[in-house]
Amino acid sequence: MSSGDPDYLANANRLLRIAPYHQWIGVELLEVSKGRAVLRLPFRPEFVGNPLIPAYHGGITAALVDLAGGVVLFSELGIPTPTIDMRVDYLRPAKAGKALFVEATLRMLGRTVAHVDVVVKDEDGKEVATGTAVYTVKDRDNPDAGNFPIG
């Protein structure tokens, strides 16, 4: 279960793409280890929200926060974890035409919920957004709940 294992990463990316939205957005998992995941989002023209800057739409950034947190928890628990709520802070415009990088860190894994922190950076390493999301993990001890895709 570490980023050093290419088979694990390939399989995780395959699971990630089971969600049609993940397939459309085109996000790929670069690294995943205990409590941490790094993803990359290649640019698509449909991501543009403000065509004058031009910059990514805030809904794309928000989707990255949400899904990156889910990926970290799936790597820990092997089950999908519904998002309870999420906050996104928009620090600066995410310039169109370039990829984004997303790093999610598990902050607290409880019996009922988990808190995940996320940072979104541009290709130059500048932070464009941060976020915190909370997920339901109460089925983590239920063996029947392990066969769901990342979502």
In the complex, which residues of this chain contact a second copy (CB under 8 A)?
18-25, 45-52, 57-60, 62-64, 66-67, 80, 82-93, 107-108, 110, 112-113, 115, 117, 127, 130, 132, 134, 136, 138, 148-149, 151
Distance between CA 59 and CA 49 in Å, rounded?
A: 9
Selection from 24, 42, 139 nearest residue 81 by Cα: 139
Contact 130, 87 (CB under 8 A): no
CB of 3 to a second copy, least distance (A): 24
Nearer to a second copy, 117 or 122 (CB): 117
Nearer to a second copy, 69 or 75 (CB): 69
Residue 94: both structure tokens together:
């995410």
Selection from 77, 59, 61, 80 nearest residue 16 by Cα: 80
CB of 89 to a second copy, least distance (A): 5
Nearer to a second copy, 32 or 151 (CB): 151
